């Protein structure tokens, strides 16, 4: 895999100085406000499973002042989605040794709150954890879970023989027609969710009915988290929601002969997720009273196919926006980003962009491991690399090339501080 601008920042290169007292609101050490912010991935960068990466606490000791307040705006940008935003904030607070608010956390599904055109529809939600509560917190008013659908139509779930009904159940009446599907993350019982979601799509939201002509286009499908793999405590990466989506897409195509279409793909590397992160970074800066506009973002991640791809894709978006060529830029982006423009998400009126760039920094504590020198023929190496990204995001070698490679998140913070002349 091609990775440009390889820069290994030595440990201890910078020693952060501590102010003697807490700075006044709107000021930081040195008398100036930050013009940059950080977007931190979580798994593989700050934690591995339930264990904090040792460099994470060191990094945040640099990022806070003597009173424990952040000196620069920070957003935690994770493709996890099987928990509440508040729970993830609490988990990060414990891991990093500082107070993290839910407003600093973006889960894979967080931008779905902007898709108000679906909030009044009856939506089937799939995943694990508090999926129903997550959907309701995002603004969805009428939610049906996979388990509720299975109980209403017990004859649909037939793989596990122990769960098959012993007697023929009476016909189901009064169950609402499903109008769309939200895929929050990988479920526990893949076979059940795969079967029932396909049933819903083939029946146009009425899985108890006899199959007639297969509707196409099918009902709207909104998917969160496209990561094929992710890093936990195990030595090798684990299957992510992207693997589940791969199964769903191929089953649908095999059964119908047509492509499964997404109304939206949310989470990294989707541009809308980074746009939302920029919005939260600016909100945080305003809340702290920092006067300087945020000009640069540093996105730190461990997965070239989601973290680096997404940051670079957003950097291209920012360049196009600054050249007043937003529409042309969207057309050149992957097709999955097309329905996620600012007009569609009502972000235009909320966030006028002052950000000029989004630099990608790859760390070696998660999915990516730096085992050898980067090949000299980087372009050829990138072309031959196996593409782990989603089907709807074209493989562009330049998008998986990190601006910088460092060992860990502490080195990433040092690197950004050096570039910003920040101490």
Helical (H) or strand (E) element with 275: helix 271-288
DSSP states of 277-300: HHHHHHHHHHHHT--SPP-EEEEE
Cβ-based neighbour number of residue 17 at 10 Å: 9
Cβ contacts of residue 87 below 8 Å, gap of 6+? none
Q: What pLDDT does residue 5 have?
A: 38
Q: What is the pLDDT of residues 196-244, one digit of tens each?
A: 999 999 999 999 988 889 999 999 999 999 999 888 889 898 999 999 9
Cβ-based neighbour number of residue 386 at 10 Å: 8
Q: What pLDDT does residue 231 have?
A: 81
Dist CA 230 CA 120 (whole Å): 33
Q: What pLDDT does residue 27 have?
A: 52
Q: What pLDDT does residue 277 have?
A: 96
Contact 325, 271 (CB under 8 A): no
Q: What pLDDT does residue 224 have?
A: 96
196 closest CA partner among 120, 205, 226: 205
Q: What is the pLDDT of residues 278-304, one digit of tens each?
A: 999 999 999 999 999 999 999 999 999
Q: What pLDDT does residue 26 have?
A: 54
| 3-class secondary structure, 396 | coil
104 closest CA partner among 92, 121, 120, 119: 92
391 closest CA partner among 198, 260, 222: 260
Q: What pLDDT does residue 302 have?
A: 95
Dist CA 182 CA 196 (whole Å): 13
Dist CA 162 CA 147 (whole Å): 16
The answer, yes or no, to whether the previous bond of 409 is cis (omega within 30 of 0) is no
Q: Angle between the 271-288 and 309-322 helix axes, to the nearest 10 degrees? A: 70
Dist CA 175 CA 183 (whole Å): 21
| The token pair that represents 196 in the structure block | 């029932």
Q: What is the pLDDT of residues 149-192, one digit of tens each?
A: 999 999 999 998 888 888 888 888 899 999 999 999 999 999 99
Residues of the chain with pLDDT under 70: 1-31, 324-352, 370-385
**Residue-level length of the chain:** 423
HSE-CB for 125 with a 13 A CA cutoff: 25
HSE-CB for 409 with a 13 A CA cutoff: 31
Dist CA 305 CA 292 (whole Å): 32
Q: What is the pTM of this model?
A: 0.81
| The token pair that represents 55 in the structure block | 């460099």
């Amino acid at each position: 895999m091609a990775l440009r601008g390889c820069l290994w920042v030595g440990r201890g290169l910078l020693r952060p100085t501590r102010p003697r007292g807490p700075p006044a609101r709107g000021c930081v050490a040195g008398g100036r406000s930050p013009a940059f912010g950080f977007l931190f991935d979580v798994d593989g960068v700050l934690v591995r499973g339930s264990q904090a990466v040792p460099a994470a606490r060191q990094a945040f000791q640099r990022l806070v002042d003597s009173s424990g307040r952040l000196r620069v705006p920070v957003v935690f940008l994770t493709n996890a989605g099987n928990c509440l935003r508040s729970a993830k904030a609490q988990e990060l607070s414990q891991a990093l040794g500082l107070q993290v608010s839910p407003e600093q956390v973006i889960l894979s599904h967080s931008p779905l709150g902007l898709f108000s055109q679906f909030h009044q529809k009856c939506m089937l939600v799939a995943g694990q954890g508090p999926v129903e509560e997550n959907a309701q917190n995002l603004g969805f008013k009428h939610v049906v879970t996979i388990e509720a659908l299975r109980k209403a139509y017990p004859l649909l779930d037939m793989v596990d023989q122990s769960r098959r009904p012993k007697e023929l159940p009476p016909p189901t009446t009064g169950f609402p027609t499903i109008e769309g599907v939200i895929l929050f993350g990988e479920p526990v019982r893949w076979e059940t969710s795969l079967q029932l979601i396909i049933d819903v799509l083939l029946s146009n939201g009425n899985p108890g009915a006899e199959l007639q002509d297969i509707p196409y286009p099918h009902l709207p499908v909104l998917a969160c988290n496209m990561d094929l793999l992710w890093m936990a405590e195990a030595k090798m990466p684990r299957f992510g929601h992207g693997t589940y989506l791969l199964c769903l897409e191929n089953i649908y195509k095999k059964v119908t002969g047509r492509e499964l279409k997404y109304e939206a793909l949310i989470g990294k590397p989707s541009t809308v997720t980074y746009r939302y992160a920029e919005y939260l970074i600016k909100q945080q800066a305003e809340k702290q009273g920092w006067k300087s506009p945020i000009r640069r973002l540093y996105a730190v991640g461990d997965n070239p196919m989601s973290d680096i791809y997404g940051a670079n894709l957003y950097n291209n978006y920012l360049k196009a926006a600054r050249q007043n060529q937003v529409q042309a830029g969207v057309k050149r982006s992957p097709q999955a980003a097309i329905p996620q423009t600012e007009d569609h998400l009502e972000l235009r009126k909320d966030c006028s962009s002052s950000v000029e760039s989004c630099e990608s920094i790859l760390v070696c504590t998660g999915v990516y491991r730096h085992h050898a020198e980067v090949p000299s023929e980087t372009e050829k190496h990138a072309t031959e690399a196996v593409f782990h990204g989603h089907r709807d995001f074209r493989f562009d070698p330049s998008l998986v090339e990190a601006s910088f490679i460092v060992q860990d998140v502490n080195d990433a913070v040092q690197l950004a501080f050096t570039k910003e002349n920040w101490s």
